[in-house]
Chain A
Amino acid sequence: MSDVQGSKPSSATNPVDPFLRIDRMPSIWCPGCGIGTTVNCFTRALIECGLDLDKVAIVSGIGCTGRVAGYLNLDSFHTTHGRPIPFATGLKLANPELKVVVYSGDGDLTAIGGNHLIHAARRNVDLVVVCVNNHTYGMTGGQVTPTTPPPAIASTTPYGAFEEPFSLPLLADSCGAVYVARWTTYHVRQIAKAMREALQKRGLSFIEIISPCPTLYARRNRLGDGLAAMKYYKQASVIQNGADTRQVGIGYQDKIICGKFVDRERETWLESYNKRHVAALGSKFRPYPTGLPEVSEPAGGNHGHD
């Protein structure tokens, strides 16, 4: 156990400090960038979720958001572009005691890594996936992504984006994620709450956070600074918990439907793995630990912790 969990930070220090690698501050993020806000929310969720933080691991891909892993005082892995989900899948299955969080950008998770996202959701690997959606590739200078709403300007769509974007909650929902929520960086309390709920859930949770990139996306589209983004989020957000994810697509500077859209139960990959092999092999199968507290099964019962 580290000295972090459960300790009451003194009022003189920022309560999030113990969760950060202070020796790596300041971060690389620009003034007004939303990524840091989401990290603050995440540390709040860590404080509130009651998990042993030695058993929480964070995995990022590559990008401005991809740097999140490097700033958190957890077992943290900065992997390759688009691949944090399969890395996290291996980590979780190898050591099911861990709570594994994937934290990355929209380009990382839905363009180059889109295939991994849909399959992890389908498999219901026990992961929390946080996608910071700034509608652009921040790290490489503001190119178009699968979530850029037309006709926004990006460096590779100098005359405006024109492809149909993904609506990420719909994507995650239709692939089987057990928890799907969207908030903007204006909604700090709701983000923290969603993250806490996701950390406490079993199966693949997906949280999309709409976040400003003042340096590239906002500047190119003359949308103002970080503060202007907050004003827009405040005005344009409509909270609709339980909304049909087919109705939550985001248009350019249009309304943003936020809320918790999906919260359901499904067998996780490891639970299905054990169940199938018990059925097929009986006592020849040596069950694999699922990371859940041991549940003593009634004799002859087959309804343990499915």
Chain B
Amino acid sequence: MSTTADPAGVLTGSHYIDGDHACAEGALAAGCRFVAGYPITPSTEVVERIAGRFPRVGDGIFIQMEDEIASSIAIQGAMWGGKKVMTVSSGPGFSLMMEHIGLAAMTEVPCVFVDVQRGGPSTGLPTRPGQADMMQARWGSHGDYEIIAMCPNSPQEAFHLTFDAFNLAERYRVPVLVMLDECVGHMIEKVVIPRADELEVVERKWTRKKPGEYLPYEVTDGSMVPDACKAGDGYRIHTTGLTHDERGYPTMNWRAQEKLIRRLVDKIRGQAGEIVRYEENDVDDADVVVVAYGITSRVAKRSIESARKRGIKVGMHRLVVAWPFPEQRIAELSRRVKGLVVAEMNYGQMSLEVERVAAGRCPTRLVGHGGGMVHDPEDIERAIVEVAQ
């Protein structure tokens, strides 16, 4: 079910704002009306903007919680209270949220987690960029589950992808992670926010069943996604992070585990084709394809332009959605290029995925970087040249 955005939250017009502010506006436009957070550089601007905007927009609550553990579960309580919800953090706080990403996956809570990545591990480089939380985003909570993660590379895209994150969260009832990096979070660029009637919002798929007929985890159509309800409407539901059946009741055996976890995994894997998103340039004739995301994709663009001038046929595959990973497309590329170059601000995370999917059909070359500073475009260009030979 989709409608157009509630105009109260849409700041239509052209703005010069940074990625953090744009992210906050994307959430507001998508109908987010509950945000819990705890200050941490370089993400704090997101919650600061929300704290300023909600009282004027109406119907929204921002609460600064005592820590990120509390923030990441307060939003889940608020979801069951009927709101669209978000929490925001960076490395150390993101680490504290991991248990509750698992809870959201297990209890199918649509919610958005924003991680403005900085240099890590530990306190690392608070004011400087990193892209080293990508595997944590995918696997950080214990157990098997699926999430969706997106990587904007500009303030404009921070607006749009945060907006889309809410829609995806509702459609699939999963936590959706918006993985900014400090550069995108803090760079100021023009952000155009459309009119509310141009923004399509996915509404929660409320059950039409009556209390007594409705089972909170029953799947009634092919989507593998159960219909929703909220507390206070007479359904008297139960939810638990324990393995559960359609009633939401704990069911402690391997059959229930198999049934539930299979579905939680398959509802994303089975529909990955619809979720996967990437942008490509100059790949048709390419001998080499650079895979990059976030701010690094903009650095790589320079490297590619420069290499093209030297006559090297090189193109770009930019991950817009990192998880689920565009397996099919990377496999296709690996069949027809000389090599794939992965540039990222870590020492090998998404590159592992590229390598796995390329499966030896072509070499994968990582241009790694510890973070704290974007790549030198020449380093990426050098790798392009070497792989092209």
Chain A residues close to B by CB (< 8 Å) = 1-2, 21, 23-24, 54-55, 57, 59, 69-70, 73-80, 83, 85-95, 97-98, 115-116, 119, 269, 273, 277, 281, 284-286, 288
Contact = CB atoms under 8 A, between A and B. Distances in A.
Given A98-B232, A286-B56, A90 B77 contact: yes
A78 B63 contact: no
B218 interface: no
Chain A CB within 10 A, most for which of B59, B80, B237, B242:
B80
Contacts of B75: 90
Interface of B: 34, 36, 55-61, 63, 65-67, 69-71, 73-83, 85, 99-100, 103, 211, 230-242, 249-250
Given A78-B238, A83-B100, A98-B232, 11 more contacts: A54-B233, A70-B250, A75-B236, A77-B240, A83-B73, A90-B76, A90-B81, A93-B78, A95-B81, A95-B232, A286-B59
B234 A54 contact: yes
Nearest to B212: A2
Given A24-B249, A95-B230, A285 B78 contact: no
Contact of B78 (A73, A76, A91): A91
B243 to A, nearest CB: 12
B211 A286 contact: no
A277 B55 contact: yes
Contacts of B58: 286, 288
A86 B34 CA distance: 13
B69 A285 contact: no
Contact of B239 (A77, A83, A115, A119): A77
Contacts of A284: 55-56
Given A116-B66, A281-B55, A91 B241 contact: no
B55 A92 contact: no
A23 B66 CA distance: 38
20 contacts: A2-B236, A21-B249, A54-B236, A57-B80, A69-B238, A70-B240, A74-B236, A75-B235, A75-B236, A76-B237, A78-B250, A86-B71, A86-B77, A90-B85, A93-B63, A94-B83, A98-B231, A115-B67, A115-B70, A288-B61
Contact of B77 (A73, A78, A94): A94
A80 B99 contact: yes
